[in-house]
Amino acid sequence: MCDFKNHIVHSFDDMNIRDIKPDHCQSELNKWRDKLVNYRRIKNYAHRVFDYALRMDIIDSNPFDKVTVPKRIETIEESEFENFYSKEELNEFLEYVKEDLELNWYTYFRLLAYSGARKSELLALKWSDIDFDTSYHQHQQNTH
């Protein structure tokens, strides 16, 4: 709820929802990209608000349908030091995946985060590799 209040409401606070155009949404999205790690999630929340207004016949079209999600430009310093999620960022990411993607993606990313396995090891897992009684899974040995 803080994201909604601090970013979405703050960005459009003084505007009537019918007056909000795609160029304003694009401008705000670009600002979120520059300030926030989770700017895509904020954009998705805003998109949902406008979808609701569209369904309620308050607006004729969703201005967020016409924006381009900008890529975050990393500096060398950022890419060297931000190679992992903090605990809060991981939980936020997993919550997003759980809500917005299919269950198999949530399972994959959760296993990746908590098992210590590599991507290829998880993708190679078979049901016979998992012991549900002891919560143990056996990694296949890579032979080269």
pLDDT tens, position by position, 24-76:
999 989 988 888 888 888 899 999 999 999 999 999 999 999 999 888 776 55
Instruction: Please give the torsion angle defined by the CA atoms of residues 129, 131, 134 and 135, in that order, rounded to the nearest 10 degrees.
Output: 70
- Which H or E run includes 90? helix 87-100
pLDDT score for 57: 95
Which pLDDT value is given to residue 11?
80
Given a contact cutoff of 8 angstroms between Cβ atoms, the answer to whether 137 and 130 are in contact is yes
Report residue 140's pLDDT band, with 50, 70 and 90 as the boundaries.
low
Check: CB of residue 42 under 8 Å from CB of residue 33.
no
Query: CA nearest 54: which of 20, 27, 26?
Result: 20
- Tell me which fold the domain 1-82 belongs to: DNA polymerase; domain 1 (1.10.150)
* Domain ranges across the chain: 1-82, 84-129
Using one digit for the tens of pLDDT, what is the confidence trace for 67-123? 998 887 765 555 555 677 888 888 898 898 888 888 888 888 888 888 878 888 888
pLDDT digits (tens, 9 = 90+) for 121-138: 888 888 887 777 776 666
Measured from the Cβ of residue 118, the count of other Cβ atoms closer than 10 Å reads 12
- Top pLDDT among 134 and 14 is at 14
Q: Which residues contact 107 (CB under 8 A, 6 or more apart)?
A: none
